[in-house]
Chains A and B, each alone.
Chain A
């Protein structure tokens, strides 16, 4: 048995810092979405919103969203910058299988999409050209919403895959090293 380096310290910190930040961004986003739940085909009854206490909290949701957007964006930018500068992004080709690469590159690009569509919603006059790329203000809101649904889908698949991969793999995201039996 030997130990092989797997995830650098910076990647582990960025990953685990992102987890609660993304959770707060999604949750505060839901508080905002309640006020005009127009982008999903299913209409959630008010009794459900009330049961989970996410009704009538628009102001709170916005204040939280516009607070946590900073650490969320900064952490994401530092993460991608680190991957590119350290050469870690290219190492992904050997570290992950094609499906994993698609998932991890995809979710990173989705993060960029959330920042861009979020900015288009936040300042639709100063960044009118950004909303125009997304078919206008409502288009940007639609994109922002469905990217969020994408994260929720990603989360469940990711957790199932991590459970299937086993303890050695999960532990490597905490310790940085993986046990290898040659």
Chain B
């Protein structure tokens, strides 16, 4: 055997042994990852990375960056997805928006809410499934309502739930205070239909559709990270854009 042949044999053996060990380690790492105990529906290392991604996103978040605005002719046919929290009976006249965590308990009617400055926007609703629609929303800014009924201390989180508590979302305070976060009572220049969340829903284009909760019953300022319906089912709690 020539020196070159010996050298080739040595390099080949070393290379393939290294490759086999690396492949085994990668396979072992994958098996380890997929067998970890789950936190709210996903393996804990995946949940930890989702939370770290959230930290990065919140550090980069800027309330001056707006979701792109569209023209009225860009509005697409409304798409109905998700009836969670809408299946119980509702008496629209008896409905009140409850705010918990303010200095005094608050219960508002739609007419009370109409006293706030009216805001309209035409933005894209992006579903976590991948589709998106362009919708015109009208309502009042959540930030304006929160300013009128301020919390005792600025809370890090806001939670919202349907009157029957079947659906609930958690929001970070920056997203809740974003200028495009509206409590909407009109959709595409008409009163909000029942299945789109009448009498009041959240329009929050800095989040996926899952956070745009329909038929809000209660808004709560909270110091602890609120439960989130889909966040408990394997999705990213933050789900922010």
Interface residues of A (CB under 8 A from B): 1-3, 16, 20, 24, 32-33, 35-36, 38, 58-60, 62-64, 66-67, 70, 123-126, 128, 131-132, 136-138, 141, 171, 174-177, 179
Contacts and interface: CB of A to CB of B under 8 A. Distances in A.
Contacts of B131: 36, 38
A137 B130 CA distance: 10
A64 B15 contact: no
Nearest to B46: A63
Given A3-B4, A3-B8, A64-B46, A126 B60 contact: yes
Contacts of B77: none
Interface stretch (B49-57, B140-148, B154-162, B211-219): B49-57
23 contacts: A3-B4, A16-B22, A32-B130, A33-B130, A36-B131, A59-B41, A60-B42, A63-B43, A63-B50, A63-B234, A63-B236, A64-B46, A66-B49, A66-B236, A67-B46, A67-B50, A70-B49, A123-B240, A125-B241, A138-B132, A175-B11, A175-B12, A179-B4
Contacts of B50: 63, 66-67
A2 B130 CA distance: 55
Give the interface size class of chain B: 35 or more
Contacts of B130: 32-33, 35-36, 38, 141
Given A67-B50, A179-B4, 7 more contacts: A32-B130, A59-B233, A63-B236, A66-B53, A123-B240, A126-B57, A136-B124
A20 B230 CA distance: 29
Given A1-B2, A36-B127, A125 B11 contact: no
A157 B36 CA distance: 37
Contacts of A136: 68, 124
A124 B15 contact: no
B199 interface: no
Given A62-B236, A70-B49, A175-B11, A1 B5 contact: yes
A3 B126 contact: no
Interface in B7-39: 7-8, 11-12, 14-16, 19, 22, 26, 30
B116 interface: no
B42 A125 contact: no
A interface: dominant SS: helix
Contact of B19 (A3, A36, A38, A174): A174
Contacts of A177: 7-8, 11
Contact of A58 (B11, B67, B128): B128
A34 B187 CA distance: 29
Contacts of A64: 46
Given A38-B130, A174-B16, A1 B4 contact: yes
The 7 A-B residue pairs with the shortest CB-CB distance in the complex, in nearest-first order: A36-B130, A59-B234, A174-B15, A35-B129, A175-B11, A175-B15, A125-B241
Contact of A3 (B7, B30, B230): B7
Nearest to A35: B129
Interface string B193-210: 000000000000110000
A32 B128 CA distance: 9
A84 to B, nearest CB: 25
Contacts of A132: 68
A137 B57 contact: no
A82 to B, nearest CB: 18
B234 A60 contact: yes
Contacts of B229: none
A32 B30 CA distance: 19
A157 to B, nearest CB: 23
